[in-house]
Amino acid sequence: YTSGSTGTPKGAQNEHSALINRLTWMQAAYGLGTDDVVLQKTPYSFDVSGWEFFWPLQQGARLVLAAPGEHKDPATLVETITKYRVTTIHFVPSMLSSFLEAEGVKRCTSLRRIVCSGEALPIPSVRRLQRLLPWTELHNLYGPTEAAIDVTSWACPPDYDEETVPIGRPISNTRLYVVDGHGSLVPVGVAGELWIGG
C-alpha cells in the first residue's frame, strides 16, 4: 500500500519482474553476504518490507524479525541491533532521526549500512549519523510504490557537507526524465515533473 502519490492509502500492483530487478540491483549495489543480518521491521503492508524479507533470503543472509510495534521504539531497536548484530536496516528519515537520539545508539557497532527512503532525508540526520556511527554507510533511495519500491539511489560520502541530500541516479534498468507540462524534456537545471520508465 502507498499514500505517497495521492495522500490517501491505496493498493499498488507491481510486476514480478520489477521486484526481481529491484532485488538484483540491490545485491549488485550493496553486496549482502552470508555474514550479514537484516532487521525486518517494516509492516508487511508497505513496499519496503518486500526487500527486507526477500533480499536476505535470496543471499543466504540472516533475517531477524522485529516484534510488532518495535519499528516505532528507538530504544528497543538499539537493543535488537546489538543483540542480533544487525548489519543492515531501513529507516524512513523521521524514524532515523528518532533512532539517532536514542540512548546507546553508539553501541550499534555491527551496523554496516542504513537505507533510507519514504521521505526527504534531512541534513541534520546525515550529520548526526556521521558523528555517532561513522563506520556505517548511509544510502538515500527514492521511488513510488508503483515503480517497485525504489527507482533512484544515492550513497552518502562519509565526509558529505552539502546542504541538501540528493535522491541519486536511476537504479538498473530504470530511466528518469524531467519533463514540462506537455511531456517534453526540460533543460538541465529547469524544474519539471519526474517521469519514470524502464
Residue 2: which pLDDT band, with cuts at 50, 70 and 90? low
91-109 pLDDT tens trace = 999 999 999 999 999 999 9
27-83 pLDDT tens trace = 999 999 999 999 999 988 888 999 999 999 999 999 999 998 898 999 999 999 999
CA distances from 96 to 42, 155, 177 (A): 13, 16, 29
156-170 pLDDT tens trace = 999 999 999 999 999
pTM confidence score: 0.92
Tell me the sheet residues that pair with 39.
64
